[in-house]
Amino acid sequence: MKRVLSGIQPTGDLHLGNYFGMMSRMIKYQKENDLFCFIVNYHALTTIQDKKLLAENTLNAAIDFMALGLDPDRSTFWIQSDVPQVCESTWLLSNIVNVGALDRATSYKDKLAKGLTANVGLYSYPILMASDILLFGGEIVPVGKDQKQHIEITRDIAFRFNQTYGETFIVPEPDIEKTNQLVPGIDGQKMSKSYGNTIPIFGDEKSVRKKFMSIVTDSTDIDKPKSIDTALFQLYALFLSDNEKEELANRFKTPGMRYGDIKQELYDCFWAQFSPYREKRDYLEKHKYHVIQKLNEGSQKATIIADSFLDKARTAMGLNYGENNV
């Protein structure tokens, strides 16, 4: 049984990009794998300085995940900051990381280009991500296409550490979905909270429908074929089987199709798929103590694994100075 590990930032309402990019795969993985899943609130500190907002987002992300099918009794589910050993391991790993590797991180450059303030936390994000993975023995890491470089950095760090200090960490393998690698937002860019182009999973009916009807389209005449290389087609395709995708593509290529009709169909499809989860979310929202209890149980299990790998790393680096000297 492989250990599958991944996390998600609590930076606001979870959206379709989160779900199709990582969440749905993680929920499926728990059936046949040793699933480790966590809410990465340390990472969120790079963009959120409001303590109340961060606390609310953290618990809401956990509630959303459990409502969508994550079973904390079949997996290890916790909040990142409840296992602070990851901070010590981040420092240990930072001492074998070349600055050049961080300079080449495209995610950092992209976030700066989008107006985010440069800080050391944002710059060293890949090291904390590596620590998240290596400290818990992650073997398979489901990530979006945009995180592929960070997994490569993690693998390089594991190789370098093992070569320098001896076999200590497992070298993880990325699991990048072959299709739907990047989920487009309503403006056609990657769906991201920082771009303000998301479609929330649990938003109210009126506001969510408005989001769908705002998906950007071109000005092609109704009597002309439509391009399938658009956010509208790509979002609709997320909900369809291969045969249904072909049928949709044919509709786009056939003159007479109205974008407004497709947007309404897509909204109806979305609402039908996620409506059953709303009742469970309402229940968990009213019973937060149950969610917190499960998170505490998960952090206790995660701590046992983290302590084991951290102790190996400390011994390998010479920090456990009392060993063999007493």
pTM of the model: 0.87
- Compute the distance between CA of residue 27 and CA of residue 210 in angstroms, rounded to an integer: 28
Q: Which domains does the chain have, with CATH numbers?
A: 3-182+288-317 (3.40.50.620), 203-283 (1.10.240.10)
Catalytic residue among 28, 52, 114, 193: 193
In order along its 326 residues, the chain shows pLDDT tens digits of: 899 999 988 978 889 988 987 888 888 899 889 999 999 999 999 888 899 999 999 999 999 999 999 999 999 999 999 999 999 999 999 999 998 888 887 777 777 777 777 788 888 989 999 999 999 999 999 876 667 788 999 999 999 999 999 999 999 999 877 665 579 999 999 898 878 999 999 989 999 999 999 999 999 999 999 999 999 999 999 999 999 999 999 999 999 999 999 999 999 999 999 999 999 999 999 999 999 999 999 999 999 999 999 999 999 999 999 876 65
Catalytic residue among 111, 226, 263, 294: 111
- Compute the distance between CA of residue 1 and CA of residue 133 in angstroms, rounded to an integer: 17
User: What is the signed CA dihedral for 110, 116, 122, 123, rounded to 10 degrees?
Assistant: 60
Note if 111 is an active site residue: yes
Note if 193 is an active site residue: yes
- Compute the distance between CA of residue 82 and CA of residue 275 in angstroms, rounded to an integer: 32
Catalytic residue among 190, 211, 226, 263: 190
- Compute the distance between CA of residue 130 and CA of residue 36 in angstroms, rounded to an integer: 15
Note if 263 is an active site residue: no
Amino acid at 12: G
Contacts of 212 (CB under 8 A, 6+ apart): 186, 199, 263, 264, 266, 267, 270
Relative to beta strand 140-142, strand 173-175 is parallel
